[in-house]
Structure 1
Amino acid sequence: MTPTSAAERLALQRAWTDQLAAAEAMVPLIGRLHRRDDVVTSVHGNPLVGQSPVAVLKAHRATRRIDETEVGVHETLAILVELDTLGLGSASVDLAELAVRFRADRIGTALRDFLQDELFLARGTAARGSDTVPHPAPRDVVLYGFGRIGRMMARILLERAGEHAPLTLRAVVVKRRGPDDLRKRASLLRRDSIHGPFAGSITVDPEHDTLLANGTSIQFLSADSPSEVDYRAYGIDDAIIVDTTGRWRDADGLAQHLRAPGASRVLLTAPGSGDLPNVVHGINHDAVADAPIVSAASCTTNAIVPVLRAVSDRYGVRHGHVETVHSATNDQNLVDNYHPAERRGRAAPLNLVITATGAARAAEKALPELRGRLTGNAVRVPTPNVSLAILHLTLDRPTTRDEVNELLRQASLTSPLRRQIDYVESPEIVSTDILGSRRAGVVDGLATIADGSEHVVLYVWYDNESGYSRQVFRVLQEMTGGRAVSLPASAERFALRSLH
């Protein structure tokens, strides 16, 4: 409504103040559940941990896209108050979905009883009404390399740190480049030209080669090869080594990590070669199992495979071509100079550079039914971050723009792929609007081309640093041997085919 009187304007201001007060009451509950129980709260997939009261309100306002009635902060505040008393243990909780389901309850169930029923279903074997959940011992994590993805992973691990967090960042392995190495590494973690300042405090202890970041002590180690590090000498054992260097891509090269005392598994943040499992979380994360070495594939593969999965399940894909418009990366030259790869030696800030991508082949590994049906190419462009994948698909049956967009919109909201796929419809969306996205890919619905034939063109934005690193973190969680409880209980059982 458009206010026309002072009374109406005052009523709107009071309504805003009331909602803001409820959001302010939510913030300490969100923080306590996260720190104490490792509970990550969201509103239809939009994370709330670490958000300001205004950002919490904005997330609730966005629920208009999904629900006929906006999910209110007073509804979710009441749910948080009850959850704070239930002893959830590690959990992922979508407050909006719980609120919608509770609204639909027709038998007058009390909110606490409703939440206990949901928790009972989610735990499976836990006793109804149980108030405590044992927390497993945290798993040690080592970052081998501290470049763009290494520092993003450090930020995510520190963001998720807490008394009962299942993963603890214990060490970072680098090649020392001078006496001021540790201070410079700390500065790069503290300040980032793309992602902004680190959310917290960092203290440098050069005497012990450690950083103290938000209460987490991180040991910095120097090594020229993976096998020469003795992690046990620093109290690190059974550690997962996250290799962010990309220097070794095959099993033999990455197995060097396993010869280091204290290391037990390896996660590669690049496409793996040979028989290494290339895992896109949400698609084939069951392939993690007990494999000693796992690849998290590439940023482009993670962006396109969930979208291809949704479309292939619904329509079938006869053939597809992936054209990636990718931000420049650190391996390119600032000015023209020698580079072992074709064209990448030309100045990255001045040129569009056509280059190869293995995303199509890696996508076929994650989606075997598309083997031999995908091709791919890439164009590097003079932007620092956020890329765009253009999918030219020939389907087994025709579709319209509205139909395929609705499929992908629903997949982003209610399907098992909702942590991977986001969906946006805006005539003004550009690459910087995707910066910081936690999803693997963001479908640009207004750019979709489909005219009722079998030919479809889809545009998928992705933050090739932040979105990809979130996917890497999800694979890392799989490697700890268990998944957190997900509420509401039915969320992960929602079959994508039920959208049809």
Structure 2
Amino acid sequence: MNQQLEQELLSSWQERQEYAEQMQPLLGKLYRNHAIEISVYGRPLLGASAIDIIKAHRSVRLKETHKLRLRESWPLLDAISQMTLAPAHIDLGKLAYAYHYDAQFAEQSVEQYLQQQLAEIIGVHDAQEPQDVVLYGFGRIGRILARLLIERQGKNNKLRLKAIVVRGGKSGDLEKRASLLRRDSVHGPFNGSITIDTEKNAIKANGSYIQVIYANSPQEVDYSHYGIQNAIVIDNTGMWRDQEGLSQHLLSKGVKKVLLTAPGKGDIKNIVFGVNHNDVAAEDVILSAASCTTNAITPVLKALDEHFGIQSGHVETVHSFTNDQNLIDNFHKGDRRGRSAALNMVITETGAATAVAKAYPQLKGKLTGSAIRVPTPNVSLAILNLHLSKATTKDELNNYLRDVSLFSDLQHQVNYTASSEIVSTDLVGTRAPAVVDSKATIVVDQRATVYVWYDNEFGYSCQVMKVLEKMSGLTSPTLPHATVKL
């Protein structure tokens, strides 16, 4: 490499790094002060490193004709940071790309362009009162939800984690709970500071004061004693999944609603955000966020059914092992689940295929499903074997799902990869509940096989957060608006 080229590469890299470093404080302030979440073509930038910001911009060249430079998006972010805006998701990448490469905006200044594109959230007063949140149970999903709630800490934060409820209370329990939040073998270290208040049984994390309450049943807890009012309790235990069991939470003082992080039974609404979240009514006091697998497959199935039609199908899930299985061979009431999770692939049942119909009734009776638990700690794979209503090709189907992931109302639910090297560990921490693996797609006439990856812990928890926001009455539009209609 000659010296001139080497210098050009170094200068280009330094320029990108400097712009990314200028962006970081603005991204944080927008979120903390205005609840504005910034992304670049769906890749969230909240808490992103300078390298993450650069990578997000580089990924645009995989989706569009031109690449997007940081010096092109910087003026828009700078201008956005000086505006008074209501809470929203803003895709900086899409705004910047359209501004620089769409001829219709050629004569507009950055300020004029943003005034037009963000008109619905400019100068809008946010009157939403903060919502108290309680985590009942502090296992895998409970701790990830805690991380997601704590990362939102700021003066404009509307979802405030006030307490967690666990069994126990033995000596050293508080320290161990805090340690499990601080360190995670799958998701890595907590992004922030955690200390404990042993006298008052509380965890302090990034400015949040979280009361730790020890109880063996909901009836034992008086949340109002801790200053908690009209709380939404997120039940992560799975102990109760029907109306009668979950209603126990409503008998506790200080509770107004309950959200279950497992499939609900009976008449409980199972909500897959992006699919049937508009079914959430103000009068609903008990809701379910369905299962991780249902959240992964339903958005993709809805998209395919709306465009191609689905006559029938079978869903096979290759799922990471869970706490429900035994570490080594031992008694288990379920078939095969007593065998060592760390050593075996275990064929088991799943209700996800039939559960799809609760969120998307158009597929009722059209799907069957089965599952294989495998010796990995996180990230699962759903294989959708479908008989479509019309013939198509691999390219047509993939291109459609790519556009769904970028430009539709399901852009927060469906992600898309064209990598031929991606494996499960690459997807740990993915916020979308579903990632379509386009390289693995198989299509023959009306028969299609679609592979969908999902982080069954983190991606699912992000969906739970969206249902929580809906139950709280929080609204935050995604701008620019979707252009692909389902």
Q: Same fold (TM over 0.5)?
A: yes
Question: Is the Cα contact below 8 Å between 2:297 and 2:452 reproduced in 1?
Answer: yes
1:357-387 deviations in Å (ceiling 9; x for gaps): 0101110111111111110010111110110
Q: CA deviation at 1:91?
A: 1.6
- Partner residue, 2:242: 250
Give distance in 2, aligned partners of 1:285 and 1:194: 29
Unaligned runs of 5+ in 2: none
Match of 2:305? 312
Equivalence for 2:37 = 40
Correspondences of 1:337-356 after superposition (within 5 Å): 337-356=330-349
State the distance in 2 between where 1:366 and 1:22 align: 43
Residue 496 of structure 1: SS of its match in structure 2? coil
Residue 7 of structure 1 aligns to which amino acid in structure 2? Q
Q: Could you tell me which residue of structure 2 aligns to residue 392 of structure 1?
A: 385
- Once the two structures are TM-superposed, the CA of residue 308 in structure 1 deviates from its matched residue by 0.2
Q: Give distance in 2, aligned partners of 1:209 and 1:82.
A: 44
1:245-324 matches, within 5 Å, as 245-290=237-282, 291-324=284-317
Match of 1:380 in 2: 373
Secondary structure in 1 aligned to 2:270? coil
Find out whether 1:496 has 2:485 as its counterpart.
yes
Which residue is 1:51 aligned to? 48
Deviation at 1:75, TM superposition (A): 1.9
> How far off its partner does 1:287 sit?
1.5
1:27 and 2:20 correspond: no
Percent identity between the aligned chains? 50
| Segment drifting more, 158-167 vs 188-197 | 158-167
Deviations 1:151-191 (CA, angstroms, capped at 9, x unpaired) = 00000001112110110000000001511111100000000
Render the CA deviation track for 1:94-136: whole Å, top value 9, x for unaligned: 001111232223451221122122222x34xxxxx63x63352
2:20 alignment partner, SS class: helix
Partner of 1:330: 323
Letter in 2 for 1:387: S
Task: Give me the whole-angstrom Cα distance separating, in 2, the residues matched to 1:108 and 1:171.
Answer: 53
* Matched residue SS, 2:314: strand
When residues 76 and 107 of structure 1 are mapped into structure 2, their CA distance, relative to the original with a 3 A threshold, is closer
Shift of 1:496: 2.7
Q: One-letter code of the match for 2:438? A: G
**Cα pair 1:223 1:229 within 8 Å, conserved:** yes
1:74 corresponds in structure 2 to 71
Deviation at 1:425, TM superposition (A): 1.6
Assess if the C-alpha contact under 8 Å between 1:310 and 1:496 holds in 2: no
Does the Cα contact within 8 Å between 1:335 and 1:348 map onto a contact in 2? yes
SS at match of 2:397: helix
Q: How far apart are 1:482 and its partner, in Å?
A: 2.9
1:473 corresponds in structure 2 to 465
Matches within 5 A, 1:438-477: 438-451=431-444, 453-477=445-469
Show CA shifts across 1:446-487 (max 9, x none). 111102x11111110100001000010111111111311432
1:77-476 equivalent positions in 2, closer than 5 A: 77-103=74-100, 104=102, 105-106=104-105, 108-120=107-119, 122-123=120-121, 130=123, 133-290=125-282, 291-451=284-444, 453-476=445-468
Q: For the residues of structure 2 that align with 1:471 and 1:419, how far apart are their CA atoms?
A: 9
1:240-285 deviations in Å (ceiling 9; x for gaps): 1000111100111101111111100111000001111100000000
Structure 1 moving runs of 4+ over 4 Å: none
8 Å contact kept, 1:269–1:472: yes
Once residues 398 and 334 of structure 1 are traced to their aligned partners in structure 2, the CA distance between those partners, rounded to angstroms, is: 45
CA distance in 1, matches of 2:298, 2:38: 26
Maintained 8 Å contact 1:280/1:296 = yes
Greater Cα offset, 263-272 or 75-84: 75-84
Residue 325 of structure 1: CA displacement? 0.5
2:382 and 2:453 in contact (8 A); partners too: yes
User: Could you tell me how far apart the structure 2 residues matched to 1:317 and 1:486 are?
Assistant: 29
Q: Is the 8 A contact 1:334 1:347 kept in 2?
A: yes
Output the CA distance in 1 between the equivalents of 2:340 and 2:11. 56
Q: Tell me how far apart the structure 1 counterparts of residues 325 and 65 of structure 2 sit (CA, whole Å).
A: 48
**Residue 318 of structure 2 aligns to a residue in which SS?**
strand
Q: CA deviation at 1:15?
A: 1.1
Distance 1:38 1:17 in 2: 30
Secondary structure in structure 2 of the residue aligned to 1:265: strand
Are the aligned partners of 2:150 and 2:206 in contact in 1 as well (CA < 8 Å)? yes
Shift of 1:495: 4.3
Contact 2:128 2:474 in 1 (8 A): no
Query: 2:460 is matched by which residue type in structure 1?
Result: Y
Q: Distance in 1 between matches of 2:258 and 2:87?
A: 23
Structure 1 spans left out of the alignment, 5+ residues: 124-128
TM-score, with structure 1 as normaliser: 0.95
How far apart, in 1, do the equivalents of 2:438 and 2:484 lie? 22
Taking the aligned partners of 2:308 and 2:106, their CA distance within structure 1 comes to 39
Offset from partner CA, 1:19-67 (integer Å, 9 cap, x none): 1111111111111111111111100110111111111001000011122
* Bigger Cα displacement from structure 2, 377-386 vs 475-484: 475-484
> Partner amino acid for 2:94?
E
| Paired residues of 2:42 and 2:412 also in contact (CA < 8 A) | yes
Distance in 1 separating the partners of 2:81 and 2:59: 25
Paired with 2:86 and 2:264, the residues of 1 have a C-alpha distance of 34
- Code of the residue aligned with 1:114 in structure 2: it is Y
Q: Distance in 1 between matches of 2:319 and 2:478?
A: 34
Call closer, same or farther: CA 1:455–1:181 in 2, change over 3 Å: same
Find the counterpart in structure 2 of residue 126 from structure 1: none
Higher mean alpha-carbon deviation, 110-119 vs 150-159, is at 110-119
Equivalents in 2 of 1:135, 1:106: separation in Å? 33
What is the DSSP-based 3-state SS (H/G/I as helix, E as strand, rest coil) of the residue aligned with 2:269? coil
Task: Give the Cα–Cα distance (whole angstroms) in 1 for the partners of residues 76 and 127 of structure 2.
Answer: 23
Task: Indicate if the aligned counterparts of 1:135 and 1:164 stay in contact, CA closer than 8 A.
Answer: no
Alpha carbons 1:87, 1:133 under 8 Å: kept:
no
What amino acid maps onto 1:496 in structure 2?
K
Question: In structure 2, what is the Cα distance between the partners aligned to 1:486 and 1:350?
Answer: 44
- 1:17 match: 14
> Do the aligned residues in 2 keep the contact of 1:240 with 1:267 (CA within 8 Å)?
yes
Give the whole-Å Cα distance in 1 for the aligned partners of 2:116 and 2:402.
29
